[in-house]
Amino acid sequence: MTFNPLQIAGLVLGFFGMVGTLATALLPQWRVSAFVGSNIIVFERLWEGLWMNCIRQVKVRLQCKFYNSLLALPLDLEAARALMCVAVALSLIALLIGISGMKKIQCKGSNERVKTYLLGTSGVLFILTGIFVLIPVCWTANIIIRDFYNPAVHIGQKRELGAALFLGWASTAVLFIGGGLLCGYCCCNRKKQKNRYPATEHPAPHTDKRPQNGTVLSKTSTSYV
């Protein structure tokens, strides 16, 4: 059986979405130092990610340090870590299910419904992955913007949106599109199966009320003595 373009496009976009999700979770550029007001010290740049902090200075190589304690982290950072780990796991599972569905198409005699359900399940998981990525990215962006315009926050502690957040939004869009294509293929294939094998209607049994030939109905019987 030939591959449908929706299958290939959905799985390719899902693969790129998985790579983008993994990169978003690992990159340290979630929060970057902001240069506003009198804070004009540009020879030092601070990056804050989910797993480490990095400092980049002029004429000095990048120095990164992992967070020492898990219990000392803020709650929003711990929640973002958990959601991104779930997103990476879901994207990997979705890709494996989609690939197994594509391999089943090459097998002769395999059930068509199994292929359709596997690809549909892969599409749903890709969409769920996009949701799990979107929540921590938007949550972190909201905190950064809120603190940036908060006059109570010191200028040196203000942060800007990092490149990892934009990569997370792009990965979310790719995952939504890829999952939507796979789900669309699943719906179209199910409609084709219904049109190909319509439900057979069982007609009601026909009863013939006419008397059969050779039968004589006797209503009354008389006896003579």
Q: Is 140 a domain residue?
A: yes
Cα Rg of the chain, angstroms: 32
Q: Has residue 221 got a pLDDT over 50?
A: no
Q: What is the CATH number of the domain that holds 113?
A: 1.20.140.150
Please give the model's pTM, rounded to 2 decimal places.
0.76
Cα dist from 146 to 63, 112, 150, whole Å: 28, 51, 6
Q: Is 207 a domain residue?
A: no
In 148-215, which ranges are E strands? Answer: 159-161
Token pair, residue 69, equals 């304690």
Q: Is 208 a domain residue?
A: no
Domain that holds residue 80: 5-28+73-195
CA 225/CA 219 separation, integer angstroms: 20
**Range picked from 11-20, 187-196, 210-219 for highest mean pLDDT:** 11-20
Q: Is 132 a domain residue?
A: yes
For residue 215, the model assigns a pLDDT of 46
**201 pLDDT band (50/70/90 cuts)?**
very low
pLDDT digits (tens, 9 = 90+) for 77-121: 899 999 999 999 999 999 999 888 776 555 544 566 777 788 889
Count of domains forming the chain: 1
